[in-house]
Amino acid sequence: MTSSEEPLPTSKQKLEVCNESTRAIEVMVEMTPERFILRPKDKLILIADAENAPRNEGFTLNFYDGGVQIYAAWDGQPSAYINGQPAESDYTTKVPFA
C-alpha cells in the first residue's frame, strides 16, 4: 500500500487518530512498539493487515496522561501515516505530560 487514501481490501483494518488538543501527544503502537508524536491538528492513520487473523478483533486503545497505546488487531507492525505521509518512529521528542 503506497497511500493512506487508497481503497482498502477487506483484509485490512483502518484507524484514524486526530489530535484536536492544543498539546502534542504520544502514540505508542504495539507490538514492536513504535512511538509517534502527534502535534495539534495532526492525523495518524494506521492500517492493519488482518488477513491471517484467527478472529476479527479490530484495534484496542488504552489512554494515559499525554497519550494513547494502540494494539493493531493481529498485525504486529501496521502501516502508519501522519498527515498523509509515511510515519517514522520518534523516540527523541519529549512530550509534556499532564
> In this predicted structure, what is the pLDDT of residue 52?
72
Q: What is the pTM assigned to this prediction?
A: 0.83
**C-alpha–C-alpha distance, residues 9 and 58, integer Å:** 15
Encode pLDDT of 37-96 as tens digits.
999 999 999 998 877 766 667 889 999 999 999 998 777 788 999 999 999 999 998 876
- Report which DSSP code applies to 55: S
Amino acid at 75: D
